Amino acid sequence: MSAAKPFRLTGWHVLGLFVLFFGTDIAINTGFIVYAVKTFPGEVAGEPYEAGIAYNKTLAEQAAEAKLGWAARVETPAPAGRGEAILVRWADKDGRPLTRLTVTGDIKRPATEAQNLNLRFAETEPGLYRAVAPAAPGAWDLSVTAANGQGEKRTAERRLIWR
């Protein structure tokens, strides 16, 4: 009867272990990278160069809005049946309610464009505008624009967290 050879670790064994370990690590990391890029490519604007050129126009619009002195206050959203109620109170620079405004808005997830929703607000009392968003719990970015009959408008933004 012959004695079994004892196991001896050779250079080929070590090479095989290194290739197996780093091959597995690289494959898993490649999978994570591919999944991350597919779910959010990092692009915020569809045409970033044009958006950058138009930035001075954006700054001028913001200055004109600030000159109006309109203020928007987003009140605590309350459940509204099939969604969340969003209440926005608009007032002029003296604190008087702004009435008969056309108020529109949208909400979107901070990290994706998959669930963007457009909102139409209705005036429920002087200066108070309400919309219902059929949105899931989590973080949402709200952008609300109010315009009067003279073409003056103001945009307000706020982060909402729904549970």
Model confidence over 98-124: pLDDT tens digits? 999 999 999 998 877 778 889 999 999
Same domain, 157 and 86: yes
Per-residue pLDDT reduced to its tens digit, 6-35: 889 999 999 999 999 999 999 999 999 999
Residue 137: inside a domain, yes or no? yes
Residue 52: inside a domain, yes or no? no
Q: What pLDDT does residue 64 have?
A: 83
Please tell me the least confidently modeled range out of 24-33, 49-58, 93-102, 122-131.
Answer: 49-58
Cα 140 vs. chain centroid, distance in angstroms? 6
Domain that holds residue 121: 70-162
Same domain, 81 and 35: no
Residue 2: inside a domain, yes or no? no
Whether the CB-CB separation of 120 and 130 falls below 8 Å is answered with: no
Q: What pLDDT does residue 139 have?
A: 86
Q: What pLDDT does residue 82 have?
A: 59
For the segment 57-71, the average pLDDT, to the nearest whole number, is 85
Same domain, 84 and 157: yes
Same domain, 77 and 122: yes
Q: Indicate whether this model's pTM tops 0.75.
A: no
Show the 3-state SS of the chain.
Answer: CCCCCCCCCCHHHHHHHHHHHHHHHHHHHHHHHHHHHHHCCCCCCCCHHHHHHCHHHHHHHHHHHHHHCCEEEEEEEEECCCCEEEEEEEECCCCCECCCCEEEEEEECCCCCCCCEEEECEEEECCEEEEEECCCCEEEEEEEEEECCCCCEEEEEEEEEEC
Domains held by the chain: number: 2
Residue 5: inside a domain, yes or no? no
**Angstrom distance (rounded) from CA 134 to CA 50:** 33
